[in-house]
Structure 1
Amino acid sequence: MAAEAVVDPGTALAAGVGDLLTACAALAEVDVHGVAFTALAETAGALERVRRQVAGLEARVLAAVDADGRWATGGARTLPAWVRQITGAHPATAARRVRTARALRDVLPAAAAALAAGDISDEHVGVLIRHATDTPARVAQLADPEMGEEFLVGCAAGLDVARFTRLVAHWAIRTDPDAADRSYADDLDREELFISDVPGGSLLRGFLATANATALKEALTARTGVPPAGDTRTPAQRRAAALNGITHLALDSGTLQPTARIRPHLAVTTTLDTLLALTAAAAPHDPDCTRRAGATACICTTTGSTDGSGGAGGSGGPGQSDAGTGGGQDTDVLARITADLDPGVLAGVEAATLADNTPIPFTLLARLACASAVHRVIFGPDAEILDVGREERLFTTAQTRAIIARDRHCQYPGCDAPPGEGEIHHNLWWYAHHGPTDITNAILLCWHHHDHVHAQHITIERHPTHWTFLDRHATPIGTTPITTPGTPPTPRAAPSTSGSPPSTGAPPSPGASPSSGSPPSTGSPPSTGAPPGT
């Protein structure tokens, strides 16, 4: 009788891996771009099964290396360190591979067989290791013939990793509820938030327990809402804007430290000279306008204002028409609210600072000053305080109510944010040179679009029937109609690229002022609250 040939396992393993490498090298030469989609889809599924089987083989090999023990003779202090030397993997990846190999060998034999057969993935195995092997009670439950490892592996074969994770989490809580409670308490203790200052802002990093993280995500989602048409921001950018909005709501509501002498808020310190330079830099530049004696900025006159808040001769809104009109007078423009700044005027001017003495750029100062309460402090030559003025806002309560009654929501094209989530945007130079702010030169914007208008130096023109938004190159961004009492509610229009106003808009509340911007005749405020300032 002929003797059967005995195949050495090491030889078979090396030969099989060699054949696999040869096959992979041959497949690398195939031009997959010319293959039909059906064949590509079938290949993708087959490759996933191969990848799983390779992961199972790797786990078995590492488990054998671990049991052999000779990996330590080469100087490696731990098996993950040896894996790093052999594979060049990241330390966390090497540790995960070793942890998987040991768990499959010691407590998850059914999962090891399913992974080797390609029925489940290494990600399914990772879920089992994290949630089913972390306490003695759960390891013991794995041996249960009905609700143990065999049950979980059978579920894994038919579920994607996300759904399988939820199933195993339920299994883990039912198996060891006391451990689940301890884990929840530990997660709360782990909660932390780092706000690290970096050039231009701060970097946020931290950890929240599941419930609190879910609550935060729900709040951000509710604040973000459905993005309007034309919103090109990424989801991450929208989440950042939502967080900023929630911060404003918390600070402006007055609920934080309500009994404090000064409620927590953003404080900016600047000199009078800086404010004067800022208003000069924000002045319109038109070849036809005149200069007030002693002023560094030109003051433009009204062109055809018919809204009752000021006629020709400088008592109404500015009428410069350098944006797209070649410098000629545009009688259709009742007011122009510009967020552009002349950097030449600001050269050499002292920067304003936050409370911790961090300097801020002039565009940000203009944005904050636009809706701030101003508190005057006069110092003597030796830094002694000579005078402390009372806090004042640029708009009276009646003016604010009138603007809300007229605009009703953020007027940026396509935005419906309510008044309580926004501020009044206006001309700083008008207040400096003409005295109290005229509501003709003011518009309601939400916090996000108020930031956007200043950051992008957007100019807003008021026409008899609509607002026109122009970028810093005088190219129209979009329009928003100015509604009057009795206008029926219609859907909001998305931002347009033409200069013509859309035919839709939200109506003001009953008793609101006409589109002229004059205050309402009644003393009762509208139903919405005045937008808070910065």
Structure 2
Amino acid sequence: MVQHPVLAELVAAEEAVARAASVDLHDLPGELQVDVLKRVERLRRRTESLTARALATVEADGRWAVEGARSFAAWWRHHSGRNRATAYREVHQARGLRDHLPATAAALAAGEITGDHAAAMARHATDSPARLARLDDEHVGEDFLVSQARKVDAARFAVLVRHWALRADPEASDRTYVEDSDREEFYLSETIDGYVPGGLLSHATGKTLLTALQARIGTPAADDRRTPAQRRAKALAGLAHLALDSGTLRPGARIRPHLAVTVPFDTLERLAEASAPAHTPGCPVGADAPSDEGAAFCSCVSARPGTAIPGGLDSTALTGAEPATFDDGTPVAPVLLARLACSSHLHRVVFGPDSGVLDVGREERLFTAAQTRAIVARDRQCRFPGCDAPPGEGEIHHSLWWAAHHGDTAVALGILLCWYHHDWVHTREITISRDAGRWRFYRRDGTEILDTALIA
């Protein structure tokens, strides 16, 4: 069977790419590696142009419809394996290039612009009769836009096209804004490992959220090794804390909306026992902080009576205990339960054998309001080394073991930490001591965390 010349060319190109892909690029000189990358980018642009032309041609032919697909985009998604949004965008772009943007299609085919440039043109310059008419303008039409696309990256070009589109048809921009607002959605999908966010926000809503997150993040400390995405996740949690703790949400409610955790009394007692500091073998009673010679730090109570907040949690003490649960029945890990118990109101409910309520106690906190004010007045900000978060963005960290075995919770055994570092000291099992009026933080291996330490 004679192969069509176009298919023969494509087969040869595919074989050439396969041969190039088999080469170990690490063996090439550095300048040649860069040249390879540039060539690959130009090849991708030309391939995107050919894909758009092929999509437009196949759609116009109409044979795809005999397979029963509800739309051409659905057909393309099925045959390409792309997600729905990508398939729709590629089909929409192919139509725009075919019907309205010949200069853009030619620039993409020549490798002069990227597919993202072409997508911005198809998205913003072809969605109203007024804008289509403006594309023919010899001074500020498509040729002008393509000349700008050759000069700037796709992100800046998308902004430029949006400016152009607004000037060409302000009324269409208003309609787009209303449509985008109506399309907004946000969801949190629960998975095995946590929650995955998704949805679509309008530009205005997205900008508002990003501004709030950036304001919450602030300028990262020099020793903050988290990725921007990790900082944004903590910032989002911080915004939720601010809203819930302020009481502005449902201000008339008798109980402010917060996380609710149900903990069997036996489990709570075991949790307190699990937080008891373990004696370090060989550590003499009365041992002090690490010496210049590198003596190991001991977090046991006998070493620092009344001055240390132990960081370890012996989770084995909870083996066989009925787990604490969120209100939907999800079990709570011991380290998270200890973290939540640090800043919780405790409300006692006693059930009988038939699950009838026998007794309801009043709500209490481990620290009274007066004690909390005293700790805030003393610490003034998050006391973690290098952090200056204000009191309004933090909680009191303490040990359940002290509360369970040493009577009233003492101000000396409470420390102000921001939400992020409160989580951090629990998950990293950080021991905190107070020596000569100064808080000191120690890792599990006994090394002290200083302001200049790099925190992984």
TM-score class, shorter-chain normalisation, is 0.7 to 0.9
* Residue 104 (structure 1) shift: 2.4
State whether residues 468 and 476 of structure 1, in contact with CA within 8 Å, keep that contact through their aligned partners in structure 2: no
CA distance, structure 2, for counterparts of residue 362 and residue 194 of structure 1: 28
Counterpart position of 1:90: 82
Match of 2:422 in 1: 450
Mapped contact 1:338–1:458 kept (Cα < 8 A): yes
Summarize the Cα distance change of 1:366–1:62 in structure 2 as closer, same or farther, 3 Å threshold.
closer
Deviates more, 1:334-343 or 1:257-266: 334-343
CA distance in 1, matches of 2:365, 2:75: 68
Which residue of the partner structure matches residue 219 of structure 2?
Answer: 226
User: Are 1:158 and 2:116 an aligned pair?
Assistant: no
| Contact kept? 1:334, 1:463, Cα under 8 Å | no
Q: Identify the residue that residue 243 of structure 2 maps to in structure 1.
A: 250
Provide Cα deviations, 1:490-527, integer angstroms capped at 9, x if missing partner.
xxx33379xxxxxxxxxxxxxxxxxxxxxxxxxxxxxx
Q: Distance in 2 between matches of 1:328 and 1:391?
A: 30
Q: Is 1:279 aligned to 2:237, yes or no?
A: no
Note the C-alpha offset of 1:159. 1.6
Q: Is the 8 A contact 1:334 1:462 kept in 2?
A: no
Find the aligned partners of 2:301 and 2:257 in 1 and give their Cα distance.
Answer: 47
Structure 1 residues 250 and 325, CA gap change in structure 2 (3 angstroms): closer
Q: Does 1:148 align with 2:119?
A: no
Distance change (3 Å), C-alpha of 1:396 and 1:65: closer
Q: What is the distance in 2 between the residues matched to 1:74 and 1:325? A: 76
**Structure 1: tracts of 5 or more residues without a match:** 1-9, 289-301, 306-321, 480-492, 498-534
Based on CA coordinates, which of the two structures has the bigger radius of gyration?
1
The reply to whether residue 217 of structure 1 matches residue 210 of structure 2 is: yes
**Alignment match, 2:252:** 259
Q: Structure 1 residue 420: deviation in Å? A: 1.4
CA change 1:326–1:179 in 2 (3 A) is: closer
What does residue 428 of structure 1 align with? 400
Gaps of 5+ in 2: 289-294
Matched, 1:103 2:120: no
What is the TM-score normalised by the length of structure 1?
Answer: 0.72
Query: Is the Cα–Cα contact under 8 Å of residues 304 and 334 in structure 1 kept in the other structure?
Result: no
Partner of 1:293: none
Aligned counterpart for 1:360 among listed residues 312, 322, 332: 332
Closer, same or farther: CA 275–162 of 1 in aligned 2, 3 Å: same
Determine the C-alpha separation between the residues in 1 that align with 2:14 and 2:351: 80
* C-alpha distance after superposition, 1:447-477 (max 9, x if no partner): 11111222222221222253332334x3324
Identity %: 50
Does 2:419 match 1:475? no
Report the CA distance shift for 1:477/1:104 in structure 2 as closer, same or farther (over 3 A): same
1:139 matches 2:129: no
Distance in 2 (CA, whole Å) between partners of 1:276 and 1:215 is 44
Give 3-state SS (helix, strand or coil) of 1:265's partner: coil
1:118-517 matches, cutoff 5 A: 118-286=111-279, 324-325=297-298, 330=303, 335-472=307-444, 474-479=445-450, 493-495=451-453
Shift of 1:130: 0.9
Whether the 8 Å CA contact 1:188–1:209 is kept in 2: the answer is yes
Deviations 1:305-354 (A, max 9, x none): 9xxxxxxxxxxxxxxxx9745979647x7622123222332222222222
Whole-angstrom CA distance in 1 between matches of 2:19 and 2:280: 74
* 1:150–1:271 CA distance, 2 compared to 1 (3 A): same
Q: 1:113 aligns with which of 95, 99, 106?
A: 106
1:103 to partner: Cα distance? 2.5
Judged with a 3 Å threshold, the aligned counterparts in structure 2 of structure 1 residues 60 and 453 are, in CA distance, closer, same or farther, namely: closer
Structure-2 separation of matches of 1:237 and 1:142: 43
Higher alpha-carbon deviation: 419-428 or 275-284? 275-284
Contact between 2:278 and 2:299, CA under 8 Å: does it hold in 1? no
Q: How far apart are residue 393 of structure 1 and its match? A: 1.9
What is the CA-CA distance between 1:366 and the residue it aligns to? 1.7
- State the shift of 1:228 in Å: 2.0
Distance of 1:133 and 1:477 partners within structure 2? 62
State whether residues 100 and 129 of structure 1, in contact with CA within 8 Å, keep that contact through their aligned partners in structure 2.
yes
Match in the other structure for 2:292: none
Query: How big is each residue's C-alpha offset from its partner over 1:386-425, in whole Å with a ceiling of 9 and x where there is no partner?
Result: 4433322222333222222222211122211111111111
Q: Structure 1 248/26 Cα, relative in aligned 2: closer, same or farther at 3 Å?
A: closer
Distance 1:74 1:243, change over 3 A: closer
Partner amino acid, structure 2, of 1:145: E
How far residue 304 of structure 1 moved from its aligned partner, in angstroms, is 9.7
Q: What CA deviation, in whole Å up to 9, does each residue of 1:344-388 have, x standing for no partner?
A: 322222222223343322222221221222223344455444443
Shift in Å, 1:19: 6.6
CA RMSD of aligned residues (A): 3.5
Pick closer, same or farther for the CA change 1:19–1:278 going to 2, 3 Å. closer
Q: Deviations over 1:35-84 (max 9, x none)?
A: 554454455445544443444345445555555x3855996867668867
Which has a greater percent of helix? Answer: 2
CA shift, 1:276, in A, is 1.9
Give the CA deviation at 1:251.
0.9
Query: How far apart, in 2, do the equivalents of 1:271 and 1:371 lie?
Result: 18
Q: How far apart, in 2, do the equivalents of 1:220 and 1:57 lie?
A: 41
Q: CA contact under 8 A between 2:130 and 2:168: conserved in structure 1?
A: yes
Question: Residues 428 and 126 (structure 1 numbering): CA distance in 2 closer, same or farther, change over 3 Å?
Answer: same
Task: Give the TM-score taking structure 2 as reference length.
Answer: 0.84
- After TM superposition, the structure 1 stretch with the greater mean CA deviation from structure 2, 267-276 or 41-50, is 41-50
- String of CA shifts for 1:65-118, please: whole Å, max 9, x gaps: 555x38559968676688679x85537566555544433232112222222333
SS in 1 for 2:118: helix
Moved more, 36-45 or 124-133: 36-45
Aligned residue number for residue 505 of structure 1:
none
